[in-house]
Structure 1
Amino acid sequence: MSEAREPEATLKRSLEYLQLKMQSHADAWGLGSAERWDIDMDQGLIWFTQPEVRVTAKVQVIGTHDASDASWLWAWDHPSVEEPLFRDALLVEAFGRKYGLYRYVTRSIRCTRDEAWQFTALACHLAQASGAYCGLASGDTAIYVTFHDTAVERLG
């Protein structure tokens, strides 16, 4: 494959990778239907809770998307996200630097929700994460994360 076509091929693979991961988690424990999710930035953990199951995983923040102004802020330069919680996002930045992709190396950009998912899918693929999630953080701002090392606990 030519060097010029490599970024597009990797982006396509990353979306396929994320789709498979998300479906696997949805089938196994109901990702996407959890009644509650919580992130503890100090511990670097995310929890998904339902009446029958609680899932815990290590979390990485990729970025935030504000729907009110279509802005994306990368976690590697987000004032609320500290190292080591943005290492997966740094993999995307390195990918962007390697291929000269402005949107992947610029702190804040305008983008759609689909593009925010593309950024997250790339992080998930590059980091070989277990999966990814998007949840409303506050107001119109959503947080996009990858997660690793899921532990499923059956309740009741």
Structure 2
Amino acid sequence: MEDPELSFVRAMNSLKLQTEAHDALWGLGEAAWAVDLETGFIEFTNDKGWTITAPVQVIGTYNTLDGTWLWGWDHPSVSEPVAQHATLVNGFGKKHALDLLTTRKVEISEDQAWEFTALASYLAEAQGAYRGPIGTTLVYMTFGELKIVKE
């Protein structure tokens, strides 16, 4: 059984490498985004006219006004099919007795929100993660295999 601290380190390193690769290939950091939680897909568009789509999972939401995180595995706006990666983190938290991963709503920093998302991506072997702002809320998501259409 892997040490939880080591899992977080590996997860953050993995996500950093994935993000750098996505930025270099199609401009993840600058792309416009839209998510459809009904279909379970995220779509990015870049300044080259490319459309990049992938299956999406919601890990949680971060309220920038009060610094609280609400897990996707028990979020009223997140259906079970798009909360599977968050549920993996919940199971990891139970296995290692980590309250922050098993408590529905917690006060954390944005850095911790990224750590939670990276862990979800690592556990699910996702292709990457994204943080999308919706007003004062930040939605943290993982995504699967990308389909890139160049127009």
Return the TM-score normalized by structure 2: 0.97
Residues 38-57 of structure 1: matches in 2 within 5 Å? 38-52=34-48, 53-57=50-54
Q: Deviations over 1:49-86 (max 9, x none)?
A: 12321100000000000011000000011000001100
Residues 1:75 and 2:54 aligned together: no
Residues 2-81 of structure 1: matches in 2 within 5 Å? 6-34=3-31, 36-52=32-48, 53-81=50-78
Residues 134-153 of structure 1: matches in 2 within 5 Å? 134-137=131-134, 139-153=135-149
Q: Secondary structure at the match of 2:81?
A: coil
| Structure 1 vs Structure 2 CA RMSD | 1.0
How far, CA to CA, are the matches of 1:110 and 1:7 in structure 2? 20
Number of residues paired by the alignment? 150
Which residue identity is paired with 2:139? I
Which residue identity is paired with 1:67? T
Identity fraction in percent: 44
Q: Secondary structure at the match of 1:84?
A: helix
Which residue identity is paired with 1:141? T
Gaps of at least 5 residues in structure 2 are none
Please identify runs of 4+ aligned residues in structure 1 that moved more than 2 A: none
How far, CA to CA, are the matches of 1:126 and 1:21 in structure 2? 14
Q: Secondary structure at the match of 1:68?
A: coil
How far, CA to CA, are the matches of 1:69 and 1:83 in structure 2? 26
Contact 2:132–2:138 under 8 Å retained in 1? yes
Return the TM-score normalized by structure 1: 0.94
Gaps of at least 5 residues in structure 1 are none
- Aligned partner of 1:127 in structure 2 is 124
Which residue identity is paired with 1:42? E
Shift of 1:140: 1.0
